[in-house]
Amino acid sequence: MEPVKLVYPVEGGDLIEAGEASSKMKLTLKKLGLPPDVIRRASICMYEGEINMVIHADGGRAEVDVGMEEITIRMIDQGPGIPDVNKAMEEGYSTAGDMARDLGFGAGMGLPNMKRYSDEMEIETAVGSGTTVTIKIKI
Amino acid sequence: MKLSEVQEILRADVLYGADKLDREVMSACGSDFMSDVLAYVKNQALLLTGLVNPQVIRTADMMDMKCIAFVRGKKPDDSVLALAQERDIVVMCTPMRMYDACGKLYIKGLRGEV
């Protein structure tokens, strides 16, 4: 299989519609014939990342590289950045508002879930200029 | 457990997928926190929730879940049902509360862990 590069814009503002990019990626990964558990892990990671992006950063974009041995997903935003990454990685810690909570998010599980399902995860963030979360999933 | 049995135990109305009740679920989880649902992969699972918004369908879709049962008689709107149809996820609505719905399924053998 040739390496595939996918780019998905993530619209900000509308949390009710969030998740479309992840759904599209999931369909594409299915068409590429990847194993179901790899597709599921990648989809959950990107979905959590997408929700985070809409809640905290007014959207951004997702870049997905599907290689021979791994999938790399980069969630890139120009949001407010994460002041304390260690705190943000704690299960149960959240700064999300009521809107997110009403929809079933904001329980402080987003980043921990991305860590749980990925083989590698890296967060580059700067307060005031944005965050890039990169995760890798082995195929 | 077959979805037809789930429907019977929960005394549920099927809002989408009445022709798909011969499908099997191996496990179930009940939560109104979608990130808690996403935290543990279940095999061919049923989701019980009191939330009725499109993110419930998307969460179930990401997890490859087979069926969603809305508790406390909550009914999703047409756009949510259309999304469930698109993702081929059976949708039911039970008058039972979360605790009772989970308990009744549990004693009939449908567990959280497979």
pLDDT band of A2, cuts 50, 70, 90: confident
A19 at the B interface (CB within 8 A)? Answer: yes
Write a three-state SS string for B54-109.
Answer: HHHHHHHHHCCCCEEEECCCCCCCHHHHHHHHHHCCEEEECCCCHHHHHHHHHHCC
Specify the pLDDT at position B34: 92
| Gap between the Cα atoms of B45 and B25, Å rounded | 5
Which of A51, A98, A99, A114 would you mutate first to test chain B, the one with the most B CBs within 10 A? A51
What is the distance, to the nearest Å, from the Cα of residue A38 to the centroid of all Cα atoms in its chain? 15
What is the distance, to the nearest Å, from the Cα of residue A61 to the centroid of all Cα atoms in its chain? 10
Task: Enumerate domains of chain A plus CATH numbers.
Answer: 4-138 (3.30.565.10)
Residues in contact with A13: Cβ distance below 8 Å, sequence separation at least 6, in sequence order: A54, A58, A59
In the predicted model, what is the mean pLDDT of chain A?
94
C-alpha count within 13 angstroms, C-beta hemisphere, residue B92: 27
> What average pLDDT does this structure show over B72-85?
95
What are the tokens at B45?
């699972």
Q: Residue B41: list chain A partners with CB under 8 A.
A: 37, 40, 44
Residue B65: is its pLDDT beyond 90?
A: yes
Identify which of A22, A36, A104 has the shortest CB distance to residue B34: A104
So what CATH class is B3-107? alpha beta
Specify the pLDDT at position A83: 95
User: Which residue does chain B place closest to A18, by CA atoms?
Assistant: B55
| Gap between the Cα atoms of A7 and A24, Å rounded | 10
Taking phi first (over 0 means left), then psi (-120 to 50 degrees means alpha), and beta for anything else, what does residue B44 get? Answer: left
Residues in contact with B19: Cβ distance below 8 Å, sequence separation at least 6, in sequence order: none
Which of A23, A45, A54, A90 would you mutate first to test chain B, the one with the most B CBs within 10 A? A23
Residue pointed to by tokens 């049995």: B5
Beta-sheet pairing, B45-49 with B67-70: parallel
**Terminal-to-terminal C-alpha distance of chain A:** 12
Q: What are phi and psi of A104, to 5 degrees?
A: 100, 15
Record: contact B38-A36, CB cut-off 8 A: no
> What average pLDDT does this structure show over A105-126?
94
Helix, strand, coil proportions of chain A in percent (round to 5)?
Answer: 35, 30, 35
A110 at the B interface (CB within 8 A)? Answer: yes
pLDDT digits (tens, 9 = 90+) for A30-65: 999 999 999 999 999 999 999 999 999 999 999 999
Give the number of beta-carbon pairs within 8 Å between A and B.
67
C-alpha distance from residue A139 to each of A34, A45, A63, A111, A123 (Å):
8, 15, 17, 21, 22
